[in-house]
Amino acid sequence: MNKFTILKGLVAPMDRENVDTDAIIPKQFLKSIHKSGFGPNLFDEWRYTDPGFPGQDHATRKPNPDFVLNQPRYKGASVLLARKNFGCGSSREHAPWALEQYGFRALIAPSYADIFFNNSFKNGLLPIIQPDDVINQLFDEVHAFPGYTLTIDLERQVIVRPQGEEIPFDVQPFRKYCLLNGFDDIGLTLRHSDKIKAFEAERLTTKPWLAHTMVGA
């Protein structure tokens, strides 16, 4: 998982409430056993006018020119500004995978579905909660100023607007630690790799038969 320290990124607005995980990454793309390749199908049913399916040549797709992420001014956005209850619906972990693989590193919204919120932290996304009045102001500024960027400083827990005003945000200390260091669940475990190897070696001295693999079992 990539570390998250300071992000200065272009902001894209998703001006819809209750964006569910089936909209974020439709169900037909959940068949893959690989944790990669979902970015091109983020918001697939809104992003394209033709039906999407796994293994498709994306060069032949028909983009919807009215969809926000297809507008040139938002190309390369890494901050997604959203409305309340973002990520509701089923608990698919593919949703944060698709967002991160598209290029988003941070989300700003009034609220999120609980499971999506937790999954985001585990996959390198920073979901920030802000009150409605702040969200409304940010939407107004994004629409008014092409190329609108925000700087998100996780260590200091602030969003810095272009004019320098800082907006504080809360994040649980353990989640902050994991993002700053790039630790997912596996990374957290591997911090103790020396102890794990020592345990395995000691175990083999007392139970040497564990070193043998049964052939054809």
**CA-based nearest residue to 106, from 77, 122, 126:** 126
Region 40-67: mean pLDDT is 94
Residue 32's alpha-carbon distances to 9, 45, 96, in angstroms, are 30, 18, 15
The structural domains of the chain, with segments of one domain joined by +, span: 6-183
Strand ordering across the sheet containing 6-14: 126-129, 106-109, 79-82, 6-14, 149-153, 158-160, 166-168
Asked if residue 216 has pLDDT above 60, the reply is no
Give residue 55's pLDDT. Answer: 85
Average predicted confidence (pLDDT) for the chain: 91
Which architecture characterizes domain 6-183 according to CATH?
Alpha-Beta Barrel (3.20)
pLDDT at residue number 190: 62
Query: Can you give the pLDDT at residue 191?
Result: 64
Instruction: Give the model confidence (pLDDT) of 160-190 as tens digits.
Output: 999 999 999 999 999 999 999 998 776 666 6
**What is the spatial distance between Cα 33 and Cα 90, in angstroms, rounded to a whole number?**
18
Query: Is-contact 85 18, C-beta < 8 A?
Result: yes
Report pLDDT digits (tens) over 130-168.
Answer: 999 999 999 999 999 999 999 999 999 999 999 999 999
- Assigned token pair, 73: 């001014």
Using CA atoms, how far apart are residues 107 and 128, in angstroms rounded to an integer?
6
Go through 131-165 and write b for each residue having 16 or more CB atoms within 10 A of its CB, e for each that does not: eeeebeebbebbeeeeebbbbbebeeeebbbeeee
Listed in sequence order, the residues at least 6 apart from 184 whose beta carbon sits closer than 8 Å to its beta carbon are: 1, 122, 123, 124, 178
pLDDT at 187: 65
Amino acid at 213: T
Q: Which two tokens stand for residue 212?
A: 């043998």
Find the range with the poorest average confidence among 22-36, 66-80, 113-127, 147-161.
22-36
Q: Are strands 149-153 and 158-160 parallel, antiparallel or unpaired?
A: antiparallel
pTM above 0.75, yes or no: yes
Cβ contacts of residue 77 below 8 Å, gap of 6+?
A: 9, 10, 11, 12, 69, 103, 104
191: Cβ contacts below 8 Å, ≥ 6 apart: 183
Give the mean model confidence (pLDDT) for residues 120-137: 97
Chain centroid offset of residue 161 CA: 21
Task: Write out pLDDT tens, residues 73-109.
Answer: 999 999 999 999 999 998 889 999 999 999 999 999 9
